[in-house]
């Protein structure tokens, strides 16, 4: 491939991209990145006001987007969104399963309700998204690209987040298992496994209920993360969005069943 063509292959002009969890953090940054590279971003989130805010930001920047309410744990809703996007937009080329939640607590005391809740969103929600997107993409001449959010927590377990890590490890296997089935139809399935990124999910440790930041608590959380990371830094949502954009684009046309690890080097697998 010529150099100019190679650079252009990172663009996603004219593609339709669904991003779950697009109201915040990594999902929001991914929607902005995909739209910035030319895609129409369907910004989906259980918090529809935040999904709409991301879409509004994209449109204000001159891009194409819409915000939609979606609970990824409700299969019929995920299927309905996929069908509606096909009807309205003519297809789905990129689907990013980024929505996720965290539950914490010691393994030996984990309540069944917590386990069910996180499995429903972080594992079944990704499964439903993969199925809904995959069923559309296998029928399209141009195929498609699915990107799932795993986590460094699956590579390097930490205490008190076993159920979260189990989901993220399951996402890796789901990605590989699906990839071997749909590759011949031109559908690629990959995952990103981010290290620690400052978002709503991780901000819960130090963002007070009124939205202000407890800086001492922030340093108590982030300081050790930095020190234990070879690059001595934590990530920003855009660091993960860059990997999502690459996997979504034709630049990654030979990549499937893979896990990209923008994690500062905290896990090397």
Pairwise CA distance, residues 80 & 2, whole Å: 41
User: Containing H/E element for 202?
Assistant: helix 200-203
- What is the per-residue binding string for ligand NAD in 139-158, x denoting contact by CB under 6 A? ----------x-x-------
Closest distance of CB 162 from ligand NAD, Å: 14
Assess whether 205 carries a catalytic annotation: no
Catalytic annotation, pick one of 95, 128, 164, 196: 164
121 contributes a contact to ligand NAD by CB under 6 A: yes
Tell me how many residues contact ligand NAD (CB under 6 A): 30
Binder to ligand NAD among 67, 100, 134, 170 (CB under 6 A)? 100
User: Measuring CA to CA, how many Å separate 50 from each of 22, 68, 69, 101, 222?
Assistant: 8, 9, 9, 16, 26
Is residue 41 within 8 Å of 65, Cβ to Cβ?
yes
Binder to ligand NAD among 45, 66, 155, 239 (CB under 6 A)? 45
Half-sphere exposure of 261 (CA within 13 A, CB side): 15
- What is the per-residue binding string for ligand NAD in 188-217, x denoting contact by CB under 6 A? ------x-xx-xxxx---------------
Closest distance of CB 2 from ligand NAD, Å: 35
Is residue 38 within 8 Å of 14, Cβ to Cβ?
yes
Closest distance of CB 230 from ligand NAD, Å: 17
Q: Angle at which helices 237-248 and 25-36 pack, to 10 degrees?
A: 50
Instruction: Tell the residue number behind the tokens 């001492």, with chain if given.
Output: 216
Annotated catalytic sites, by residue?
164
Binding site for ligand NAD (CB under 6 A): 20-21, 23-27, 45-47, 50, 70-73, 98-101, 121, 125, 149, 151, 194, 196-197, 199-202
């Amino acid at each position: 491939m010529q150099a100019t063509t190679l650079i252009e292959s990172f663009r996603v002009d004219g593609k339709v991209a669904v991003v779950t969890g697009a109201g915040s953090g990594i999902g929001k940054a991914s929607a902005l990145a995909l739209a910035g590279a030319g895609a129409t971003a369907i910004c989906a989130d259980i918090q529809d006001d935040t999904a709409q805010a991301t879409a509004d930001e994209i449109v204000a920047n001159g891009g194409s987007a819409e915000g939609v309410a979606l609970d990824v744990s409700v299969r019929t809703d995920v299927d309905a969104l996929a069908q509606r996007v096909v009807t309205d937009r003519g297809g789905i080329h990129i689907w990013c399963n980024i929505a996720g939640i965290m539950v914490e607590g010691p393994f030996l005391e984990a309540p069944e309700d917590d386990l069910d809740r996180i499995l429903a969103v972080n594992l079944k929600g990704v499964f439903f998204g993969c199925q809904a997107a995959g069923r559309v993409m296998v029928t399209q001449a141009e195929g498609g690209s699915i990107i799932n959010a795993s986590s460094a927590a699956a590579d390097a377990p930490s205490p008190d987040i076993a159920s979260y890590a189990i989901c993220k490890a399951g996402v890796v296997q789901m990605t590989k298992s699906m990839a071997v089935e749909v590759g011949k139809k031109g559908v690629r399935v990959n995952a990103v496994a981010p290290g620690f990124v400052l978002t709503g999910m991780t901000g819960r440790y130090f963002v007070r209920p009124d939205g202000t930041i407890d800086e001492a608590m922030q340093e108590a959380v982030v300081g050790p993360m930095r020190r234990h990371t070879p690059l001595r830094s934590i990530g920003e949502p855009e660091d993960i969005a860059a990997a999502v954009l690459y996997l979504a684009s034709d630049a990654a046309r030979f990549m499937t069943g893979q896990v990209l690890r923008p994690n500062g080097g905290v896990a090397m697998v």
